[in-house]
Amino acid sequence: MLEIRDLKVRYGGITAVDGISLTVNDHEAVSLIGANGAGKTTTLHAISSLLKIASGKIFFDGVDITSLPADKIVQMGIVQVPEGRQVFTKLSVEDNLKMGAYLERDKAKIKANMEFGMNLFPIIRERRKQTAGTLSGGEQQMLAICRALMTSPKLLLLDEPSMGLSPLMTQEVFKVLRTLNEQGTTIFLIEQNAYEALEFTDRAYIMESGRITLEGRSADLLNDERVRDAYLGGDV
Amino acid sequence: MTLTYFLTMLISGLRLGSVYALIAVGYAMVYGILRLINFAHGDIMTLGVYFMIALMISLGLPFWATMIISVILSIAVGLIMERCAYRPLRSAAEETVLISSLAVSTILQNLMTMIWTAQRMPVKLPAWLSVANRIGPFTIKTISFVTFGVTAAALIILTIIIRKTRIGVAMRACSENRKAAMLMGININRVIMFTFAVGSALAALAGFMMSGDYGTVYPTLGFTPSLKAFCAAVIGGIGSLGGSVLGAFIIGIAEMLFAGLVPTNLTNYRDAFVFAAMIVILLFRPNGIFGKQEGGRS
Amino acid sequence: MSPLKFKDVPVLRFIAFIVIPLVILILAAGAPKSYITSLIVTIGMYSLLCASLNLVNGFSGMFSMGHAAFMCIGAYMTSFFTVAPNVLAAHCPGLPNFMIHTSLPYPIALILGGLAAAVVSLVIAFPVVRTKGHYLSVATLALIVIVGAVVDNEEQFTYGSRGLTGIPAQSTVWPVWIVLIVCLFIMYRLVHSAYGRGLKAMRDDPTAAQTLGINLVSKKLSIFAFSAFFAGVGGGLYAHYLTTISSAAFSFTRSFAIVEISIIGGMGSLSGSFLGAIFYTIVPSLLQNLENGMVLFGTRLPQLFGLANIIMAAFIIILIIFRRQGLMGNSEIILDTYFRKSTYTALFKKGEWAKIPRYFADIPVRISAWSASRKKLRMEKKAP
C-alpha cells in the first residue's frame, strides 16, 4: 500500500532522514520505532508532504505521491494524527470532527463517520459540545484519532499516540487502534514506547539517526537481544 | 460646546471608524492566518483609488462599473503580492516576512509615484454623493450614509462567508492551527489567496470612501490610515474579527472626539494620540481588549 | 576573560586594515570629492545606526522599528548644544537658558544627545517591552509618530516643521568614522561580555534564560536604552551632516531604511551592519542615474522617479527569499590570520613575497566559507 524508496530529508546542513526504505502492506499495522531525534516524525511529515524532501520516492497504491501537496495526500486516503494531537482547541469537539471531514461533501457519510468515531470512543460523544481545549490529553488524543477517521482513510499515520498519556489511556487507545486495524484500516505508527508498539503491530522498523537499522516481525523484534537492550530496558 | 456639536463629531467618528473597520478586518484576517502585518495593505487601498480615477478618466465608464473593475484590479495586485513576496517566505521568521511587506509597500508607493506622480490628484465622485442632507440639526453628506452602508454590508457578507462556507471554515482552521489544517486536507495556499483577495477588496472599498471624503489621492494616502487601522485591530485583539471592527470604531470615534474637543493648539496631536492610546492599552492588555493569550511564535 | 583590546575586535580590524586604506585609495584616485565624501560619511552614519538597531533586533529577540524616533531625539539634543546661541534664542525661545547659551564641543554634545535618547527610551520602553512580537514592532513604530508630532508642534523648542537651521556641518569623514569606530568597539564589547551572553540566551530561549536567573525585563529595558543611546549619537551625526533638521528627516522611511540595512547585512552581526550600509548607500546612488533618464544604446530613457527605490525593494525581497539571514547572519567577519604578525614574518622568512597578494585575494572566499559554516549551525538549531 505504502512504499518509501531511499527517502532523504535535510534541514540545511544536517540530514535528518538518510535514505530509508520501507513498505506497509494492505491491512497491516506497522510501526517505526526509535529514540527522540531519530527522524521518525520527519519521515511521517515527508509522507504527509508537510516538508520538502531531498531525494527518494514515496508510492501509495502504486502511484507516485512524492510531489503531491498536503491536501492531495489526504484526498488519496492518507491521514495523519499528528504529534501532540494538534486539535483545534478553540472549536467544539463536534466542530473539530467536522473540520476533519473537510474533504467529505456527503452529509450522510459525515454523520455516519461521526457516529463510527463516537462509538469507538464513547467519551467523545459525551464531550461533543465542549471546547476541545478543555479535554484531557487522552481525550484530545481520542478526538484527534476520531477526526482523522472522518474521511475514512485507507492508511492512518499516527505520530506517538501514547505520548503524554497515562498507561491506562495508552492501553485504551491501542485497543481502539487494534479494532480499527481488524476492520481493515492500514496503520503506520511511530513510537518511542517500543513495547506497546511492538505488542500492537505486525511488523516494525527500528530507526537510528536517520537510518533503518533493523526490521522484522514485531514478535521477533520483541525477543531480539539488541532491541531488548536498547529499547525495552533489558528484561521485560 | 453644544450637544449638537458633540453628536456631529460622533457621527464623523462613526464614519471614520467604518473606514478603519474595512481596513482593520483585512489586516486581522491576514494576521490571523500568516502572523504577518501586511504593511502593503494601505497601499492596495491607495492603488484602488488610482485605478478608479484612471478608469473614469480614460474609459469614461459609469461610476459603479469603475468601482467594480478597480476592486477586481486591487484583488489581482493583492494576489500577485502574495504569490511573489509572501509565499516563498512561508516558513521564514515573522520579522523576515514583515520586511518583505515593507519592501512591497515601497514598490507600490514608488510605482504609483512613477505612473501618477507624487502630486495630489482630485477624486471626482458623482455629484449625488456629495449632497449635504439636513437631518434635524445635523448636516450629513450622502457619502457618509454610503460609507456606513457599504461597511455594514461588507462585514455582514464577510461574517456569513466565515461562518457558513467551506472556505470560511478552512480560514478559521488555518488561523487556529495551520499544520492541523493541512492535515485535514485543506489547501492552505488557496485559503491564503482567498484571504488576500478579500482583504484587498475591502481595502479598495475603504480607499473609495476615504478619498471620496478627502477629495484627493496621492501615493502615500493609505499609509497613516492603514497604520491606525492596524492599531485598531491591535486594540481590539488582532485574532478576532469582531474585536478589530470594534477597535476600529473606538479609534475612529476617539480620534474625532479628540480633534473636536481639545484646544486647537493640540489638534495636531491627533495621530500621536491614537498611537499613544494604543501603547497605553497594550500596557494593560498586552493582547488587546478582546484578544486571547497567544502562544507566541509557533 | 582579559579585557578586549582594539586589535581583538574583528570588525574594527576589518575597517582599519581593509576599508580605510581602500577609502584613501579611492579618495586619492581623484574622483569628484564631494560626491565620494558624502557617500563615505553616509556609510559611516548608517553603519552606526544599523549596528545600534542590531543590538535590539539581532541580539535581544525583540524587533524594534522605531529607530528614527531615537535618532530624532539625539539629533535635536545634540544640535541644541552646537547651534550658535543667537540662532537658538531666535528660533527656540522656549529652551532653558543654559541650553541656549552653552556651546559644547561636538563629541560632548553627541554624548548628551545619546543620553537624552537613552533616557527617553527608558521612559517609553517601559510599556513597550511588555508587549510581545509584532505588538512591539508596532508600538515602536508608534513612537515615531509621537516624537514626530511633538517636534512638529512644540515650536518654541524645535522651530516646528520649518526645521532647525544653522547646525554646523561638523559631520565630515573623520569625525563620523572616529565616532563609528569608538561606538562599534563599545558595542562589540557589550555583545561579547557576560551581559551580551545573557542577552543572546534571552534571544534564543527566554524561558531557559529566566531559569538561569536572567531578569528579562531589566535586560530588555537596558538593551533598549543602549541601542537608543547609539541611535541618538547617530542622529546627532546625521543632524550635523544635514545642517537643517525637521521631523521629516526622522520619518518612517528613515526607520525602514535602517531596518532594511540590518536585514541586508544580517541582524545578528555588527560587521553585517557595515556591509549592509555600504550596499545600501552605494547601490541606490548608482541606480540614481537610471532615474534621471540615462542614455542607453543611443536612446535616452525616460525619467522614472522612484525606479531606484523599486529596484532596491525588489532586491531586498529576492535577498530574503534566497538568503534569509542576510549577508552575514549572526556572524562577524574574522580575518584572524591577516592580522597576525607571524603570518607575514613567516612569509618574509621564506622569502615568499609573491604569496602576500594571493593571500588577500581569497578574502571573499574565506568570508563565504566561514559564513556557510555558521549557516549550518543555524540550521541545526532549527531542525526538530
How buried is A24 (Cβ within 10 angstroms: 0-12 exposed, 13-18 middle, 19+ buried)?
Answer: buried
Quick check: helix, strand or coil at residue C105? coil
CA distance A166 to chain C (A): 25
Contact state of B104 with C313 under an 8 Å Cβ cutoff: yes
- Does C383 contact chain A (CB < 8 Å)? yes
Kind and range of the H or E element at B121? strand B121-122
Closest CA to A54 of A23, A2, A16, A4: A16
Domain that holds residue C91: 6-251
Q: How far apart are CA A196 and CA A186, in angstroms?
A: 17
Average pLDDT, chain A: 88
Residue B145: inside a domain: yes
Q: What count of other Cβ atoms lies within 10 Å of the Cβ of residue C176?
A: 24
Question: Which of the residues in chain B have pLDDT under 70?
Answer: 1, 291-298
- State the pLDDT at residue A22: 92
Q: Measured between beta carbons, which residues in chain A are less than 8 angstroms from residue C377?
A: 13
Quick check: helix, strand or coil at residue B107? helix
Contact state of B185 with A50 under an 8 Å Cβ cutoff: no
C3, C45, C152 from C164: Cα distances, Å:
42, 20, 11
Residue C369: inside a domain: no
Contact state of A12 with C384 under an 8 Å Cβ cutoff: no
Q: Which three cell numbers stand for residue A105?
A: 461533501
Residue B217: inside a domain: yes
Minimal Cβ distance to C127: which of B94, B271, B283: B283
Q: What is the pLDDT of residues A61-83, one digit of tens each?
A: 999 999 899 999 999 999 999 98
Q: How far apart are CA B104 and CA B196, in angstroms?
A: 14
pLDDT band at A166 (very low <50, low <70, confident <90, very high): confident
Q: How far apart are CA C377 and CA A194, in angstroms?
A: 32
Q: Measured between beta carbons, which residues in chain C are less than 8 angstroms from residue B38?
A: none
pLDDT band at A32 (very low <50, low <70, confident <90, very high): very high
- Does C323 contact chain A (CB < 8 Å)? no
Domains in chain A: ranges and CATH: 1-76+189-236 (3.40.50.300)
Q: What is the pLDDT of residues A107-118, one digit of tens each?
A: 899 999 999 989
Count interface pairs A-C at CB distance under 8 A.
25
Indicate the range of A12-16, B66-70, C30-34 predicted with least confidence: C30-34
- Name the E strands within chain A: 2-11, 14-24, 29-34, 55-60, 63-64, 78-81, 155-159, 186-191, 203-208, 211-217
Distance of CA A82 to the CA centre of its chain: 7
Q: Measured between beta carbons, which residues in chain A are less than 8 angstroms from residue C379?
A: 11-14
Distance in angstroms between the alpha carbons of the first and the last residue of chain C: 34
Angle at C297 (CA atoms; ends C295, C302), nearest 5 degrees? 40
How many domains are contained in chain B?
1
Chain B residues with CB under 8 Å of a chain A CB are 166, 169-170, 172-173, 176-177, 179-189, 292
Residue B298: inside a domain: no
Which are the contacts of A28, defined by CB distance < 8 A and separation ≥ 6?
A1, A186, A187, A201, A202, A203
Residue B117: inside a domain: yes
pTM of the model: 0.83
CB C255 within 8 A of CB C231: no
3-state helix, strand, coil in chain A (%, to 5): 40, 30, 35
- State the pLDDT at residue A236: 44
- Give the residue-averaged pLDDT of A35-39: 84
Contact state of C384 with A14 under an 8 Å Cβ cutoff: no
Q: Which three cell numbers stand for residue C91?
A: 528660533
- Does C376 contact chain A (CB < 8 Å)? yes
CB B193 within 8 A of CB B19: no
- Residues pairing with A187 in the sheet: A29, A156
Mutate to test the interface with C, among B41, B87, B106, B283 (most CBs of C within 10 A): B106
- Does C350 contact chain A (CB < 8 Å)? no
With CA atoms as reference, the chain B residue closest to A81 would be B183
Q: Check which CATH number belongs to the domain holding B21 and give it.
A: 1.10.3470
With CA atoms as reference, the chain C residue closest to A16 would be C383
CA distance B182 to chain A (A): 6
- Residues pairing with B216 in the sheet: B122
- Residues pairing with A14 in the sheet: A11
Q: What count of other Cβ atoms lies within 10 Å of the Cβ of residue A95?
A: 18
Q: What is the pLDDT of residues C264-308, one digit of tens each?
A: 888 877 778 888 888 888 888 877 776 665 665 656 666 677 788
- State the pLDDT at residue C59: 85
Q: How far apart are CA A171 and CA C273, in angstroms?
A: 57
Residue B13: inside a domain: yes
Quick check: helix, strand or coil at residue C67? helix
Is residue C5 predicted with pLDDT exceeding 70? no
Give the dihedral sign, CA C276/C279/C281/C283. negative
Q: How far apart are CA A175 and CA C182, in angstroms?
A: 69
Contact state of A12 with C378 under an 8 Å Cβ cutoff: yes
Contact state of B180 with A82 under an 8 Å Cβ cutoff: yes
Q: How far apart are CA B178 and CA A86, in angstroms?
A: 10
Q: Measured between beta carbons, which residues in chain B are less than 8 angstroms from residue C267?
A: 95
Residue C302: inside a domain: no
Q: What is the pLDDT of residues A103-153, one digit of tens each?
A: 888 889 999 999 998 998 999 999 989 999 899 888 899 999 999 999 889
Quick check: helix, strand or coil at residue C59? coil
Residue C350: inside a domain: no
Q: How far apart are CA A172 and CA A196, in angstroms?
A: 11
How many residues does the structure list for chain B? 298
Backbone angles phi, psi at A214, to 5 degrees: -155, 145
Q: Measured between beta carbons, which residues in chain A are less than 8 angstroms from residue C376?
A: 12-14
- Does A147 contact chain B (CB < 8 Å)? yes
Contact state of C131 with B103 under an 8 Å Cβ cutoff: no
Is residue C372 predicted with pLDDT exceeding 70? no
How buried is C362 (Cβ within 10 angstroms: 0-12 exposed, 13-18 middle, 19+ buried)?
Answer: exposed
Chains with at least 3 CB pairs less than 8 angstroms from chain A: B, C
- Residues pairing with A17 in the sheet: A9
Residue C263: inside a domain: no
Q: How far apart are CA B108 and CA B195, in angstroms?
A: 20
- In chain B, residues 12-31 whose CB comes closer than 8 Å to chain C: 31
- State the pLDDT at residue B298: 30
Chains with at least 3 CB pairs less than 8 angstroms from chain B: A, C
How many domains are contained in chain C?
1
Contact state of C383 with A14 under an 8 Å Cβ cutoff: yes
Domain that holds residue B208: 3-284
Backbone angles phi, psi at B117, to 5 degrees: 60, 165
Q: How far apart are CA C266 and CA C327, in angstroms?
A: 6
With CA atoms as reference, the chain B residue closest to A51 would be B91
Q: How far apart are CA B109 and CA B47, in angstroms?
A: 9
Q: How far apart are CA C130 and CA A99, in angstroms?
A: 36
Contact state of A11 with C375 under an 8 Å Cβ cutoff: no
CB C307 within 8 A of CB B110: yes
Residue C284: inside a domain: no
